[in-house]
Structure 1
Amino acid sequence: MIYCDHYQSQQCQSCQWIETDYPLQLQQKETHLKQQLAKLDLSQLAWFEPFRSPLTAFRNKAKMVVSGAVERPILGIVNEQNQAVDLTDCELYPRHFAEVFLVLKDFIGRAGLVPYNVAKQKGELKFILLTESRYNHELMLRFVLRSENKIPLIQRELAKLQAKLPQLTVITVNIQPQHAAILEGEKEIFLTKQQVLEEQFNQIPLFIRPQGFFQTNPTVAESLYATAQQWIKDLPIDSLWDLFCGVGGFGLHCAKALSEKNPDVKLTGIEISPSAIQAAKKSAEKCGLKNVNFQSLDAANFALKDQQAKPDLVIVNPPRRGIGKVLAQFLNQMCPPFMLYSSCNAVSMGKDLAELSHYQLRKIQLFDMFPHTSHYEVLGLLIRQN
């Protein structure tokens, strides 16, 4: 259990379990997970102990609402009482983020970036999004603005900002013109030549890009991918599909492990985001994996329409809604020998596993990606029933 002034003063209630002892947090999450699996045949299930997260400084990304005045900007949240709360000292962020935020506050004033006022619908700067690579400690900074009007002011002060923070290697402006509680818009304008951060988990290079999903708890994410590797590396797998692959974390880890015994292992990764696929291809090249095909397609549509030889392993890492009944029934019919299912929503996962009637859950582990909240990640290994 950690102490937080913001929680005690009821200014920020994001970490709703922060006053609950950590072992009890894990126990409650495991209980919830078991409830979602209650209707399944668990007679051959190996249940692994939850993977624990650090309790502080575990996030690699900060999403800061910008409020206050241009001379004294406030970076944090606007709570339910419509109070602007400064969270630059939040215990979830690495300690050195506080120093970065201090420089950014000064930059906001120098560049004349007036914080956006929701009630008055005036101002320009809505959010500051800061992401760090644990691998090389480079930073990505994104300014979310209402329009492009202030970009020349940012560019005017940019060299001074980078002199103070040389670790800022990716800087962008995102345009979000709507008067709504939307984090970002579609248009991303790069102010630096470098456009991605390189991260590494288990010696596998992965790339963090603007507007792309990437796990915010590197310690737990690295263990999640390593566990997937361990579970499948000795199985008879010559080809695998990674559906909803994102930047390729699961597929690349599994293909790399399998390639040690079979250099010809074939990986097909499917993700709807073109920029994610571009990042995944870059990772595969750096890994030295040759027999890899990443495509920008809808994962469910690809699986349902593709007529190539079925894979030995299918990895699914869907959004919170799960894979759904149609895709689950298709996987039942195609019936690959092995499946890895990674989920951020055990409720939808439980429904999907019930639909996957031709499979038996053999291994499962909870990964506490989000301590002090009710959320968690799960990894399960399914084996086709005879």
Structure 2
Amino acid sequence: MQCDYFDAGVCRSCTLMGVPYDAQLAEKQARVEALLAAHLAGPADSVWGAPVASVESGFRAKAKMVVGGTVDSPTLGILGDRRQGVDLRRCGVIADPILDALPAIARFITTAQLTPYDVPARRGELKNVIITLGAGDSLMLRFVTRTAEGLARVRRHLPELAAAVPAAQVITVNLLPEHKAVLEGDEEHVLTEARALPLLVGDVELRALPQSFVQTNTAVSGALYRQAAEWVDELAPANVADLYCGVGGFALHAAGAPGVAREIVGVEVSRDAVASAELARDARYGRDDDRARIRFVADDALEWARRQKELPELVVVNPPRRGLGEPLATLLADRGPDTIVYSSCNPDTLARDIAAMPDYRVERARVVDMFPQTTHVEVLTLLRRVSG
């Protein structure tokens, strides 16, 4: 795709901008195949499925916009080299419904007199605006402010914002008083009746509370969850654990239709994410016995696994970029089930973790291109124990 911001040198976030998409995907496939070559259960052509491609533009369903400029002329985008705001209001990788809302959000900043935070001077009020696209083009708007004064200003002008951005189903203010390089703080104030955004991902309508992590590429995420669910259904385990389950995407796809007997436990350290997963479960499964067989636990994945006398027949893991780490990889190597479905957003840590589990081999694998125009890539693997 072509990007005026990239060509002008004002934004280089998309490091592969201008590279033909087929070449991007081929390079990612080759790099991941090379990293995992030593861990395959058979010939490469029997292991690797076709990569899951994305559309090239408009795929990001979540935009994290740094607010800069002035209260009368705010910018929404990133911080430039001099720590000043760079406006990216027509960024080509962001979904159109989010882009369509940005002019009204900028006008609201002026209306509510939310002074953009000046990073070098360490003064001002509004730091970031985080926008998430949900089902039916609904939106979640989160304003990250420095003090409760920002909260009061958003609350005071909430009717104008709701009228200007009618797609905004959930509106919140997050307080981040510290001057540090993080996106948001711990304290969240929901200003709308609705607290969770519905997200139609694959075959399941998920729910996202404000501080729960969701994938940025909804269409490709759906393909990822469906592929994992196909593998699970083929193996037909009686029970499944989903570690780092987030808002429940893998767990609820693996659970199958209402009435399926499979037991599911999802483990996630974020309480917001666990609450989101429970909302989606309760909406999808009306029967008490279905809800009883699918449970979510707010806990550290490693500590939860350590406490189990026996792990389920199949374990799904979807860790952050740092991977499983040596303690959990070792635990799975020693006590893990015959089958692990490992979804990774960092092929380097995936290869390291598989090397730490020498009895497992990659039986199936697919590159899943969640992040076009960048070198980042997701990989879904089916690991099978071959000895022990």
Query: Do the structures match in fold with TM over 0.5?
Result: yes
Quote how far apart the aligned CAs of 1:317 are.
0.6
Q: 2:267: which partner in 1? A: 270
Question: What is the SS of the residue equivalent to 1:302?
Answer: helix
Letter in 2 for 1:278: A
Alignment check: 8 A CA contact 1:337 1:384 kept:
yes
Quote how far apart the aligned CAs of 1:99 are.
3.0
Quote how far apart the aligned CAs of 1:293 are.
2.0
Cα distance in 1 for residues equivalent to 2:153 and 2:40: 62
Cα distance in 1 for residues equivalent to 2:127 and 2:216: 21
Cα distance in 2 for residues equivalent to 1:218 and 1:147: 33
Q: Which string of whole-angstrom CA distances, capped at 9 and with x for unpartnered residues, describes residues 309-352 of structure 1?
A: 43111001111111122222222222412110000010010011
Q: 2:77: which partner in 1? A: 76
Q: 1:14: which partner in 2? A: 13
1:23 aligns with 2:22: yes
1:281-320 matches, within 5 Å, as 281-288=278-285, 289-290=290-291, 291-307=293-309, 309-320=310-321
Question: What is the SS of the residue equivalent to 2:149?
Answer: coil
Q: 2:379: which partner in 1? A: 378
Cα distance in 2 for residues equivalent to 1:52 and 1:230: 18
Q: Which string of whole-angstrom CA distances, capped at 9 and with x for unpartnered residues, describes residues 66-90 of structure 1?
A: 1111111111112224453211101
Letter in 1 for 2:312: P
Cα distance in 2 for residues equivalent to 1:223 and 1:191: 33
Letter in 2 for 1:380: T
Instruction: Tell which deviates more after alignment, 150-159 or 367-376.
Output: 150-159
Quote how far apart the aligned CAs of 1:278 are.
1.2
Instruction: Tell which deviates more after alignment, 264-273 or 9-18.
Output: 264-273
Question: What is the SS of the residue equivalent to 2:53?
Answer: coil
Percent identity over paired residues: 37
> Runs ≥4 in structure 1, deviation > 6 angstroms?
none
1:207-246 matches, within 5 Å, as 207-246=207-246
Q: 2:193: which partner in 1? A: 193
Quote how far apart the aligned CAs of 1:251 are.
1.3
1:340-359 matches, within 5 Å, as 340-359=341-360
Quote how far apart the aligned CAs of 1:234 are.
2.0
Cα distance in 1 for residues equivalent to 2:217 and 2:99: 18
| Structure 2 gap ranges (5+) | none
1:144 aligns with 2:141: no
Alignment check: 8 A CA contact 2:202 2:221 kept:
no
1:331 and 1:97, CA in 2 relative to 1: closer, same or farther beyond 3 A?
Answer: closer
Q: 2:165: which partner in 1? A: 165
1:28 and 1:66, CA in 2 relative to 1: closer, same or farther beyond 3 A?
Answer: same
1:256 aligns with 2:253: no
Q: Which string of whole-angstrom CA distances, capped at 9 and with x for unpartnered residues, describes residues 219-238 of structure 1?
A: 11000001111122121310
Instruction: Tell which deviates more after alignment, 187-196 or 373-382.
Output: 187-196
Alignment check: 8 A CA contact 1:88 1:97 kept:
no
Quote how far apart the aligned CAs of 1:265 are.
1.2
Quote how far apart the aligned CAs of 1:42 are.
4.0
Cα distance in 2 for residues equivalent to 1:266 and 1:110: 51
Aligned length: 380
Quote how far apart the aligned CAs of 1:280 are.
1.2
1:336 aligns with 2:344: no
1:369 and 1:119, CA in 2 relative to 1: closer, same or farther beyond 3 A?
Answer: same
Q: 1:53: which partner in 2? A: 54
Question: What is the SS of the residue equivalent to 1:363?
Answer: strand
Quote how far apart the aligned CAs of 1:287 are.
2.4
Quote how far apart the aligned CAs of 1:384 are.
2.0
Alignment check: 8 A CA contact 1:335 1:358 kept:
no
1:49 and 1:69, CA in 2 relative to 1: closer, same or farther beyond 3 A?
Answer: same
| Structure 1 gap ranges (5+) | none
Q: 1:153: which partner in 2? A: 153
CA-atom RMSD in angstroms: 1.6
1:67-146 matches, within 5 Å, as 67-133=68-134, 135-146=135-146
Question: What is the SS of the residue equivalent to 1:97?
Answer: helix
Cα distance in 1 for residues equivalent to 2:331 and 2:136: 42
Alignment check: 8 A CA contact 1:208 1:214 kept:
yes
Alignment check: 8 A CA contact 1:201 1:222 kept:
yes
Quote how far apart the aligned CAs of 1:152 are.
2.4
Alignment check: 8 A CA contact 2:364 2:381 kept:
yes
Question: What is the SS of the residue equivalent to 1:213?
Answer: coil
Quote how far apart the aligned CAs of 1:354 are.
1.3
1:28 and 1:192, CA in 2 relative to 1: closer, same or farther beyond 3 A?
Answer: same
1:41 and 1:137, CA in 2 relative to 1: closer, same or farther beyond 3 A?
Answer: closer
Cα distance in 2 for residues equivalent to 1:268 and 1:83: 45
Q: Which string of whole-angstrom CA distances, capped at 9 and with x for unpartnered residues, describes residues 253-283 of structure 1?
A: 01116x77xx321111111111111111122
Cα distance in 2 for residues equivalent to 1:236 and 1:34: 28
Letter in 2 for 1:14: S
Cα distance in 1 for residues equivalent to 2:137 and 2:199: 9
Cα distance in 1 for residues equivalent to 2:311 and 2:98: 47
Quote how far apart the aligned CAs of 1:202 are.
2.9
Letter in 2 for 1:178: E
Instruction: Tell which deviates more after alignment, 75-84 or 175-184.
Output: 75-84
